[in-house]
């Protein structure tokens, strides 16, 4: 039995999130159905990171097990079956049958995109936010976030997590022409965490609260004090990393 990893990207506005939700169109359901169609038997995949409805991914991983050789044009055929809003970038194999897409990941990186000038070509690709922002305060709040490890405030209720501890490796804002991006990288994220971080930082940048209040919000460990209102379509799961040498790329042979 071999374990394979699919590196996928998708337009989140086409799905009701990434995780299975009955018969609702989700990323995982589309992958399971496409794999089962191609392999002519039921195949269940397991995702590395859950994304909410509307959230995009430039890189997410799903693993599945297979006890038969791959077709020489497996990736080509799989991409032909997958819906237009979802594609496989690359495919890998691991020599460890217990290597798990979710639990073996060492870090994940998200990016949230904001633009202030109306642009129809950014509709559902970034958040339209035509308000005055103090970018110096955004840089300050982003740095403050790195000082903390308990992010219960930024975890939505009913997240079914055992711990709210996260190690933040990177947290910063950067300007891209007419856009403002928040980039955050950590070993793990809680349900709704990035949107909560973004929404609450924007409140500070709009002078609705100061950095002292921002610290108090984090330390309160109370999700009712965070702002989760920013739209999902501004958020991108940008990268997931695994231990070096743990995955071996598999390419179509024809």
Active-site residue list: 52
Cβ-based burial of 97 (10 A; exposed 0-12, middle 13-18, buried ≥19): exposed
Q: Is 25 strand, coil or helix? A: coil
CA distance 27 to 47: 9
Asked if residue 64 lies in contact with residue 33, where contact means CB atoms within 8 angstroms, the answer is no
- Write the CB contacts of 16 (distance below 8 Å, at least 6 apart in sequence): 24, 25, 26, 53
CA distance 90 to 249: 7
The encoded tokens of residue 185 equal: 């990288």
The neighbour count for residue 215, using CB atoms within 10 Å, is 14
């Amino acid at each position: 039995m071999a374990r394979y990893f699919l590196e996928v990207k998708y337009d989140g506005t086409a799905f009701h999130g990434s995780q299975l939700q009955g018969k609702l169109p989700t990323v995982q359901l589309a992958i399971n159905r496409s794999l089962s169609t191609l392999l002519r038997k039921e195949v269940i995949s397991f995702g590395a990171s859950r994304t909410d409805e509307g959230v995009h991914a430039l890189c997410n991983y799903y693993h599945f097990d297979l006890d038969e050789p791959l077709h020489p044009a497996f990736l080509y055929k799989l991409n032909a079956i997958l819906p237009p809003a979802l594609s496989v970038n690359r495919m890998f194999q691991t020599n460890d049958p217990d290597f798990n897409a979710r639990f073996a990941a060492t870090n994940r990186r998200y990016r949230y995109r904001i633009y202030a000038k109306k642009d129809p070509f950014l509709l559902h690709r970034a958040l339209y936010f035509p308000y005055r922002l103090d970018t110096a305060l955004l840089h300050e709040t982003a740095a403050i976030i790195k000082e903390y490890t308990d992010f219960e405030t930024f975890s939505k209720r009913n997240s079914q997590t055992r711990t709210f501890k996260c190690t933040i490796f990177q947290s910063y804002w950067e300007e891209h022409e007419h856009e403002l991006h928040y980039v955050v990288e950590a070993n793990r994220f809680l349900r709704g965490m990035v949107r909560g971080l973004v929404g609450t930082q924007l409140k500070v940048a709009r002078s609705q609260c100061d950095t002292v209040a921002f610290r108090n919000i984090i330390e309160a460990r109370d999700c009712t004090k965070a702002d989760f209102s920013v739209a999902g379509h501004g958020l991108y799961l940008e990268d997931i990393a695994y231990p070096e040498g743990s995955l071996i790329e598999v390419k179509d042979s024809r």
